[in-house]
Amino acid sequence: MEITSRALVAQRKKAYSRRGVYLWFIAPAVAVIFAVIVFPWIFTLWMSVNDWRIGSEIKFIGLENFATLATNTRFLSTIPRTLYFTVLAVILPVILGVFAAEVFHQNFPLRGLLRGIYVAPMMATPVAIALVFTMMFHPQVGVLNFLLSLVGIPKQLWVYSADTVIPTLALVEVWQWTPLVMLIVLGGLASLPTEPYESAVIDGANQWQMFRYITFPLILPFLMIAIIIRTIDALKSFDIIYVISQGGPGTASETINIYLYLQAFSFLQIGHASAVVVVFFTIILALAIILLVARERLRWNR
């Protein structure tokens, strides 16, 4: 015993003395992280405290950009709008995705082929999808209004009305990303033990009870992963909104990202845009922390 621990101490000391050498091994990783993560961040922070418009002098203005944002009603209104879009683009795919996973978990003919078809939207390029949907939403020549007219439903304005633009855009997100939730949940379902179900059947539980009291709690950890991934994706969603509505009509679908893009690339206000980035990052970070804490709390194996 004594000998072992002494040997251990000696070994540790030796390792400690060689630490300086080992440190060099992490140098490349540190350099890369500094170049691609730390430096851009510091640079963004620096830009956010400057009045910087491409083509004009750069002037240090402290926190003025943030102060302007705090009172800018247009920017402030993008926050609830972004959250509204995010909630729709997370909840609907989660509900539909769980349902789809339950369906695809059953045995039926051609299941493999149908699963493949079901996940196809996920593989398409968002911009291409957005262009196709733009044509489908077109008020005069769009196929959606034509289809509605076949069943006697009046023409809808889709993305051409301030009231329906966000749900319509969320619809495109739902169409594209429900398969992702389905895949994650399906993986979870496949890993579940069969014994609880057998006992449940013996106890006379019906399908809903088995889902509610066995399946749902067991797939919850997988669902949380799906929710976290979807939330981050929906928050930063840009391409679909930009291509289909460009934030319009008016500012009805102007999310934080669209506002940010306008400031940076249309108005060339780099300083102001960087301040938006900092605020946006803080929001995302806060949400991520909340979701991670929620996930920890929900761990069933604790």
Partner 1 sequence: MSKKLTRREFLKRSAILGTGVASAAILNACAPTPEPTKAPAPTAVPPAPTTAPAAPTTAPAAPVTVAPTAAPKAAFDWKRFKGEKIEALLIKNTQGDIMVKHLKEFEELTGITVGADQPAEQQQRQKLAVEFASGQTSFDVVYYSFHVQKRLFGKNKWVADVRDYLNDPTMVAPDWDWNDFSAAGKAWSTEPDGRIDAVSNKIDYCIVYCNKELFAAKNVPLPKTYDDIVSAAQKLHDPSKNIYGFVGRGLKNANTMLWCWMLLGWDIDVIDSKLNLNTTSPEAIECAKMYQNLMKNYAPPGVGGFNWNESQSAFALGQAAMWMDGVGFAAPLEDPKSSKVVGKVAYVVMPKGPKAQWAGMTGDGMGVSAFSKKKGPAWYFCMWAASKAMLARSFAAGSGAQSRNSVYTDPDALKSLVVPKEWVDTVVASGKIGRAALPIIVPVTEFRDIFGVALNNMIGGADAATELKKATDEFKPILAKSEA
Interface with partner 1 by CB under 8 A: which residues? 51, 53-56, 74, 138-141, 155, 157-162, 165, 245-251, 262, 265-268
Per the CB < 8 A criterion, the answer to whether 249 and 157 are in contact is no
Residue (268 or 287) nearer to partner 1, CB? 268
Give the shortest CB-60-to-partner 1 separation in angstroms: 15
Whether the CA torsion 221, 226, 231, 232 is positive or negative: it is positive
Q: Taking the CB of residue 52, how many other CB atoms lie within 10 A of it? A: 22
Q: How far apart are the first and last CA of the chain?
A: 35
Cα-flanking dihedrals φ and ψ of residue 50, to 5°?
-120, 150
Give the shortest CB-204-to-partner 1 separation in angstroms: 44
Give the shortest CB-89-to-partner 1 separation in angstroms: 20
Give the shortest CB-46-to-partner 1 separation in angstroms: 17
Residue (74 or 212) nearer to partner 1, CB? 74
Bridge partners of 53, per DSSP, are: 269
- The count of C-alpha atoms lying within 13 angstroms of the C-alpha of 126, restricted to the half-sphere facing its C-beta, is 17
Residue (226 or 262) nearer to partner 1, CB? 262
Residue (80 or 109) nearer to partner 1, CB? 80
Q: How far apart are CA 16 and CA 166, in angstroms?
A: 58
Q: Taking the CB of residue 187, how many other CB atoms lie within 10 A of it? A: 13
Residue (97 or 247) nearer to partner 1, CB? 247
**Residue-level length of the chain:** 302
Residue (139 or 196) nearer to partner 1, CB? 139
Q: Give the tokens for residue 33.
A: 């992280």
Instruction: List the beta strands (DSSP E) in the chain.
Output: 50-51, 59-60
Give the shortest CB-51-to-partner 1 separation in angstroms: 8
Bridge partners of 51, per DSSP, are: 59
